[in-house]
A and B are shown apart, each in its own frame.
Chain A
Amino acid sequence: MTTLSNNDIAHAIYLVSKEKTHAELREVNSKVIKFLVRRRLLSKSPNILERLDKIINYESEKIIVKVFSARKLTEEMKRELTTFLGKRYKVKEVVLAETLDEKLLGGVKIEINDEIIDLTAKNKIKKLQEHLIRKI
């Protein structure tokens, strides 16, 4: 018997729930939960849900961007960021999830799935430190 990966299950859930009405979805959900219980996969449900989230985002051409910054971003900066990321990742919708972190000193750090674009002052100082130590 081939083993089902979390991705396979998440993909199957997505396909059966796609374009379903509210009432139909309730039935689908109950069947999914029964399936998970029967196959003893309930403990894996957080991972399956995470995968499902990624699939839904991918299919609906949406990305969730975690933005870490030392100060709150202005509306204009957010707009600029949204346009830039929309073009870079070729998606229709960009959702920004902001987090404030004073330790970053300045600039922003952008996290999309497992990709990081680090434009913070803290990172720059760290790189400068590495550069100086290597040279010496």
Chain B
Amino acid sequence: MSTNFIVENLKKEIDNFSSQIKAEKVGHVLEVFDGIAKVSGLSDIKSSEMVTFPNGETGVALNLEEDTVGVIIFDDFSKIREGDEVKATGKILEVPVSDNIIGRVVNALGVEIDGKGVIKADKTYPIEKVAPGVITRLSVDKPVATGIKVIDAIIPIGRGQRELIIGDRQTGKTAIAVDTILNQKGQNMICVYVSIGQKDSKLRKIQTRLEKGGAMAYTVIVSAGSSEPAPLSYIAPYTGVSIAEYFMDQGKDVLIIYDDLSKHAVAYREISLLLRRPPGREAFPGDVFYLHSRLLERACRKNQEYGGGSITALPIVETQSGDVTAYIPTNVISITDGQIFLETDLFYKGIRPAVNVGLSVSRVGSKAQIKAMKKVAGTLKLDLAQYRELEAFSQFGSDLDNATKQQLERGKRAVEVLKQPQYAPMAVERQVAVLYALTKGYLDDVPVDRIKEFEEGLINYTENKTKKFYKEVMETSMWTDAGEAELKKAIEEYKSNFN
């Protein structure tokens, strides 16, 4: 590059430069502590308006008081001094969005952190938005295939639904979320994974797993790590949902995972206490319910007139020693349309995913299942509930009648069939074949320890023998008598050869 070129370019830039004269609203820093600044002045500032500090740090006005404004700072606050000039920008906090964001890892402000270069954005979306109204919505009736048998069969999730994943630490909450993302390959779904207050090593592991499974081609990761200031953890889920809304507005279906909202509430508690807002139960501020309800309400399915996209939300909440009656779990349970409850006991018994079928529920229910799945899984939940009841009862006596014994045996096999390893989501048509064999009693005389072997063999066999049935379920999601007869015949054939 010649010197002349540089000089000419600079001249051109200087010629193009015009600075507008405008009156700016300013304030002065009164005090700074723990990521919070108290600022005087800024008289006409709006709530959630962005402000800038002299060294380029950004913040958001959260507390509007008579004499002062409480600002949360998103960057390193150590360089901000008392008396520094703070400028109001007139803009509500927004994040850059574009199609290029897919496959990238961004921070809570939408800035890339994966070292793959700047993400060129065409638009910005405000992070706080009123959720779509009733007129724009459509009822949930299209399934999200998670690829996890127990969920797809018993606790189905629909597009536009909010299903909570709740459980103690180390029970496989994130595993369910990651498996669900992995299973969205070819399902026409964009995924947003919001990591709040997680270890960077865990995030890296998830990212690598998603890359390995080819899932980063349709996934965005929003991260607010545990070493970052609490204000970033506080805004991360809103950033995630704004990115999701960008895709939903294009008529696409989006799946968003908030991992996890307990840490989000803790970050908000920290900010609120520092801003001297009065503490309530468990020292959380009074508006912690609204914090989550306004976030989760943005998950919806829009009708065709309004674009037809959807946002399905899978928030994760961590409980302490299985206590679902704590403040945040009860709040989020009441906001969401159902919960997947994971238990430590089941996990250590080897039942993985450790879903407690009795306590887990999906309020959308079978409306979000394909016809074929509805047909085969209809009695499964009841069978399992009866099994659990009888299991407890049978421990007291050994004399059981044949019907009870049969129910117990069926239950044991159902539990075995619903076990599934991590990172191995199963296509819905395969699930239908296996569950059909289970509910029709074809597994009743197979030894429990050989169920997995039987299942694998059955899938391989039926896939080759009943191509018509598989195609039918895959393409039309329907269940026909002809299809059923074909499947039945194949299962019987396979079973007669199984030894």
Contacts from A to B (Cβ < 8 Å): 5-7, 47, 113-119, 124, 127-128, 131-132, 135
A116 to chain B: which residues have CB within 8 Å?
Answer: 23-26
**Cβ contact of B66, chosen from A5, A114, A128, A132, cutoff 8 A:** A5
Contact segment of B10-18, B122-130, B448-456, B462-470: B10-18
Chain B residue numbers with a CB within 8 Å of A118 are 24
- Please name the residue on chain B nearest to A128 by beta carbon: B17
Q: Are A47 and B67 in contact (CB under 8 A)?
A: yes
Residues of A within 8 A of B14 (CB): 128
Query: What string of 1s and 0s marks CB contacts (under 8 Å) between B254-283 and chain A?
Result: 000000000000000000000000000000
A114 vs B182: C-alpha distance in the bound complex, in angstroms? 53
By the criterion CB–CB under 8 Å, are A114 and B17 in contact? no
Q: Which 4 A-B pairs have the closest CB atoms?
A: A114-B41, A127-B19, A115-B23, A117-B23
Cβ of B126 to closest chain A Cβ, rounded Å: 22
Select one of A114, A119, A124 contacting B43, CB under 8 A: A114
Query: Given A115-B23, A115-B25, A6 and B66 touching (CB < 8 A)?
Result: yes
Total interface residues in chain B, CB < 8 Å: 18
**Would you call A128 and B19 a contact (CB within 8 A)?**
yes
Complex: chain B residue closest to A131, CB-CB: B17
Give bound CA distance, A117 to B87, whole Å.
12
Cβ A114 vs Cβ B21 within 8 A: no
Q: Within the complex, which residue of A114, A119, A127 is in contact with B27, where a contact is CB–CB below 8 Å?
A: A114
Which residues in B have their C-beta under 8 angstroms from that of A7?
Answer: 66-67
**Cβ-defined contact, B19 with A115, below 8 A:** no
Distance in Å: Cβ of A130 to nearest Cβ of chain B: 10
Q: Give the distance in Å from the alpha carbon of A37 to the alpha carbon of B19 in the complex.
A: 51
Q: Is B215 interfacial (CB-CB < 8 Å)?
A: no
> How many contacts between A and B, using CB within 8 angstroms?
42
For the complex, give the distance between the alpha carbons of A126 and B41 in Å.
Answer: 23
* Contacting pair B25 A114 (CB below 8 A): yes
Q: Is B42 an interface residue (CB 8 A)?
A: yes
Closest chain B CB from A56 CB (angstroms): 17
The answer to whether B19 and A124 have CB atoms under 8 Å apart is yes
12 A-B residue pairs with CB within 8 Å: A5-B66, A47-B67, A113-B41, A115-B23, A116-B26, A117-B21, A118-B24, A119-B21, A124-B19, A127-B17, A128-B14, A132-B13
Task: Give chain A residues whose Cβ lies under 8 Å from the Cβ of B43.
Answer: 113-114
Residues in A whose Cβ lies below 8 Å from that of B24: 115-118
| Other contacts beyond A7-B66, A132-B17: 15, CB < 8 A | A5-B67, A7-B67, A47-B67, A113-B43, A114-B40, A114-B43, A115-B24, A117-B21, A117-B22, A117-B23, A124-B19, A128-B17, A131-B17, A132-B13, A135-B13
A119 to B23, CA, bound (A): 10
Report the separation of the CA atoms of residues A128 and B21 in the bound assembly, to the nearest whole angstrom.
13
Tell me the nearest residue of chain A to B14, going by C-beta.
A128
Residues of B near A124 (CB, < 8 A) are 19
Q: Max chain A CB contacts within 10 Å: which of B27, B43, B67?
A: B67
